[in-house]
Chain A
Amino acid sequence: MSFGGDDPARAKILGRVRDALSKSGAARDEAGARAAAEAYVAAHAYGPRPRMPGDRVARFMQRATDMESTVAHLADRREIPASVARYLDALELAPALAAQRSRQGVCWPELADLDWAGAGLAIEPRPTTGDDKLGITGAFCAIAETGTLVVLSGASTPTATMLLPDTHVAVVSAARIVAGMEEAFALVRDERDGLPRAVNLVSGPSRTGDIEQTIVLGAHGPYRVHILVVDH
């Protein structure tokens, strides 16, 4: 078994692909095909897109709700801890699940400066061990068309914070709600030097319909996703 280097399977597969492609008629201009492929990529052309009338923020909030996230709109980021506390208090949980109302959790470093303790929350700015109840993250941007959070991996944005805790709270800046997936990708290209390891697009809580097509939330990841859209 070879790792990299001269892989005989590679040569054979690509050879068979080329044979198949040159079967159909005229000799294939491979150099031309390569140049055309590069040009196609460079153009980054958009496909047909649904119209998106009205306010992008309102649209995002509506679509996120459709995907069974819950959403709150805050004027100032300093309101976040109190808003999270209110959200937890208002959760309607079966008695057996009451532990999920826990005020203990972790957040991304960018949110460490907020006065969590002042709102009665025990939030630590560290990656999750897997035992934390509440995972609070930011978002790189968000997509209005589908109510989607765009989360990029990185040293200060640990991915598992949005996956392992029972509840995922995500903070997104209203100014960073874009129309579609296309704009989100364009923003990554503009602001980052290449794609990060993971671009995770999250639209509502983890769910399954694998037993009799009955939707159950919290299949593996969070049972609920709560989004805070923040103006400043």
Chain B
Amino acid sequence: MQIASMHFKERAHDNMGNAQLQGNLQKIKGKFVAKRRQSLVELDDVEATREAARAIRQRALDNLDVWLEMFERNATARGATVLWAETPADVNRHVLAIAARHGVGKIIKSKSMVSEESALDRAIEAAGLDVVETDLGEYILQINDYEPPSHIIGPALHKSKEEVSDLFARVHGTARKVEINELCLEARQMLRKHYLSADMGISGGNFFVAETGSVVLVTNEGNATLTTTLPDVHVAISGIEKIVPTLEDVATLMRMLPRSATGQSISNYVDLLTGIRGEGEFHGARHMYFILVDAGRSAVLGSEVSEALRCIRCGACMNHCPVYQSIGGHSYGWVYPGPIGSILTPSYIGLENALDLPQASTLCNQCGVVCPVKIPLPDLLRKLREQQFARRLRPWSERAGLRLWSWLAARPRLFGASTRIGVRMLRWLGGRDSLIHRLPLGRGWTDGRDMPAPAGRTFRELYAARRADGGQR
């Protein structure tokens, strides 16, 4: 996928002015958030389950090499071929080599975020083969000339039904449908013939199970089930970090994943796939490949933000993020939006290519509170900010300001004196209505709103005064 993360500010600005998008974002907020809360109640002990989910993912990461080797051994024993990809480009090369090997002409695909990293669909088409996305959201984006996804669970949630109606009428050449169920039916009919005629199915992998050498696929549409049942060749592509040790671990994680994602107790189709078509079987892959993708993950594993690799891609952090809710997924400029994207994108494509992302957060910790695997997202964002500062990737003025502040903050008397003066100056700026209309050095902040002027004394002054009062609060 084209990287546009350096254009964060312009994109965020445009998207905040896009009334259509703003309306669509409002709907996400209401539904996913409320349903998540209701469904978690069914687990008698949410926090214990969440802690168990965290521990499972961390256990896998702590000895990732061991689990990967166990996975490879067990998958191979069942007749699957395990391939390794160092870079996104390697993913595409593997897929094209597999397709050539089996004489594949048409490929159907269920959702894979990793394949977005490598723009796999375009590579397949460039090689002269057909590829059809089967997840309805991904299909909508594909036929709209590969519009980028805006959300990891609902890639096309930024589009209204009217936009989809126009798109289908234009691309399918059919009468324009109005109702959402008519649109879904039209997509179903279009996709059905591809399912029945495809030579190869590509899926992502929600989990790779080390114990059994299996891949777990989670969908509501059942499109991954069809994609991996009907064609002769199945290629499952996912990051090396997606390993979980046991089937019991899958059971625990599956109590958290659908609830955190869409607020369902369980997703409608959960497929646990192991090896190739059995004796006498009528369906299923005769040739099964796993592509284990590094593409930056091993570097993250040894970094300060390694906990981000626990992510199970539920989307809860973005659903709850006030910044994401305002600017939409496209502003982030790459595959993964929202708080987790602001950590993964700079980590995978380089901090220097995504300068604004670690800053695209108020650090309010809504994301950290809802994350089902307890990734401390604000802490990790802060670590990236520190790295940006240390690597001189922030503007000169910002670095100078921070340096000045830290110098000042380490000198309590001076700090006290200067904040006293500062507060009085701001109060003076606030004038009679106690509102600052134009903040020196902070023009952007007061462009769209007034800043209330401080009321009078600093915290330290108040604190000292109350202490003198005899410690009453």
Q: Which positions in A face B, CB cutoff 8 Å?
A: 1, 3-4, 7, 9-10, 12-14, 16-21, 23-24, 30, 33-34, 36-37, 40-41, 44-48, 50-51, 63, 66-67, 127, 130, 145-148, 153-156, 158-160, 163, 180-182, 185, 194-214, 216, 218-221
Residues of B within 8 A of A148 (CB): 266, 270
6 residue pairs, one from A and one from B, having the closest CB atoms: A20-B302, A155-B280, A47-B252, A16-B298, A221-B222, A210-B137
Query: Does B44 count as interface, using CB distance less than 8 angstroms?
Result: yes
- When C-beta atoms are compared, the residue in chain B nearest to A200 turns out to be B271
Bound Cα distance A1, B93 (Å): 8
Query: What residues on A are CB-neighbors of B183 within 8 Å?
Result: 211
**Closest chain B CB from A39 CB (angstroms):** 11
Q: What residue in chain A is nearest B230 (Cβ atoms)?
A: A160
Given contacts A155-B278, A196-B278, A198-B273, contact A160 B283 (CB under 8 A): yes
Q: Quick check: A163 and B81 within 8 Å, CB to CB? A: no
A-B contact pairs, 13 of them (CB 8 A): A36-B63, A47-B53, A48-B49, A50-B255, A156-B280, A197-B278, A198-B272, A202-B268, A206-B220, A208-B137, A211-B159, A213-B157, A221-B226
Count residues on chain B whose CB falls below 8 Å from chain A CBs. 113
Counting chain A CB atoms within 10 Å of each CB, which of B86, B164, B183, B283 scores highest?
B283
- In the complex, the answer to whether A211 meets B269 with C-beta atoms within 8 Å is no
> A13 — which chain B residues lie within 8 A by C-beta?
84, 86, 240, 292, 294, 298
Also in contact, A212 and B180, with CB within 8 A (given A13-B240, A148-B266, A196-B274) = yes
Residue in chain A with minimal CB distance to B223? A220
Determine the chain A residues whose CB is within 8 A of the CB of B136 once the complex forms.
208, 210-211, 219
Is A50 touching B43 in the complex (CB atoms < 8 A)? yes
Any chain A CB within 8 A of the CB of B282? yes
Given A48-B45, A213-B31, A219-B222, 4 new contacts (CB under 8 A): A9-B83, A44-B246, A211-B164, A220-B191
Q: Which of B76, B192, B251, B279 contacts A155 (CB 8 A)?
A: B279
The answer to whether B68 has its CB under 8 Å from any CB of chain A is yes
Q: How far is the CA of A209 from the CA of B220 in the complex (A)?
A: 9
Docked Cα-Cα span, A44 to B220, in Å, equals 28
The answer to whether B135 touches A210 (Cβ under 8 A) is yes
B274 touches A195 (CB 8 A): yes
Which residue on chain B has the smallest CB distance to residue A195?
B274
A180 touches B222 (CB 8 A): no
Q: How far is the CA of A40 from the CA of B161 in the complex (A)?
A: 48
Q: How far is the CA of A209 from the CA of B37 in the complex (A)?
A: 18
Known: A163-B222, A219-B188. A16 touches B245 (CB 8 A): no
CB pair B277 A197 closer than 8 Å: yes
Q: Is the CB of B161 within 8 A of A37?
A: no
Minimum CB distance partner of B284 in chain A = A197
Binds A, one of B206-214, B397-405, B434-442, B455-463: B206-214
Given contacts A47-B49, A221-B226, contact A33 B63 (CB under 8 A): yes
- B383 CB to nearest chain A CB (Å): 15
Residues of B within 8 A of A218 (CB): 184-185, 188
Chain B contacts with A in 202-253, Cβ cutoff 8 A: 210-212, 214, 220-223, 225-226, 228-230, 240, 245-252
A10, A198, A206, A210: which contacts B84 (Cβ < 8 A)?
A10
B317 within 8 A of partner (CB): no
Q: How far is the CB of A149 from chain B (nearest CB, A)?
A: 10
Inter-subunit contact B66/A203 (CB<8 Å): no
Taking a contact as CB atoms under 8 Å apart, the answer to whether B271 and A201 are in contact is yes
B174 on the A face (CB < 8 A): no
- A200 and B93 within 8 A (CB): no
Q: Choose one: B185, B262, B283; the contact of A158 (CB below 8 Å).
A: B283
Residues of B close to A48: CB separation below 8 A: 43, 45, 48-49, 52, 252
Of B63, B76, B157, the contact of A210 (CB 8 Å cutoff): B157
Q: Distance (Å) between the CB of A110 and the closest chain B CB?
A: 15
Contact residue among A21, A153, A220 (Cβ-Cβ distance under 8 Å from B302): A21
How far is the CB of B364 from the nearest CB of chain A, in Å?
24
Q: Determine if B449 is an interface residue (Cβ-Cβ < 8 Å).
A: no
* B69 sits at the interface (CB 8 A): yes
Are the C-beta atoms of A197 and B52 separated by less than 8 Å? Answer: no
Q: Does B408 contact A (CB under 8 A)?
A: no
Are A219 and B184 CB-contacts (below 8 A) given A37-B245, A209-B220? yes
Q: Which residue of chain B lies nearest to A201 when distances are taken between CB atoms in the complex?
A: B270
**Minimal beta-carbon separation of A92 from chain B (angstroms):** 15
Most B CB atoms within 10 A — which of A14, A147, A196, A214? A14
Q: Does B472 contact A (CB under 8 A)?
A: no
- Give every chain B residue within 8 A of A145 (Cβ-Cβ): 265
- Pick the contact of B134 from A7, A9, A202, A220 — CB < 8 Å? A220
Check A210 against B226 for contact (C-beta < 8 Å): no
Establish whether residues A14 and B69, one from each chain, have CB atoms under 8 Å apart when the complex forms.
yes
In the complex, chain A residues whose CB is within 8 Å of the CB of B306: 20
Which chain B residues lie closer than 8 Å to A127 at the CB level? 282-283
User: B220 to chain A: which residues have CB within 8 Å?
Assistant: 206-209, 219
Q: Is B97 an interface residue (CB 8 A)?
A: yes
Indicate which residue in B31, B251, B283 contacts A153 across the interface (CB closer than 8 Å): B283
Asked whether, in the complex, the Cβ of B63 is within 8 Å of the Cβ of A185, the reply is no
Q: In the complex, which residues of chain A have a beta carbon less than 8 angstroms from the beta carbon of B272?
A: 195, 198-201
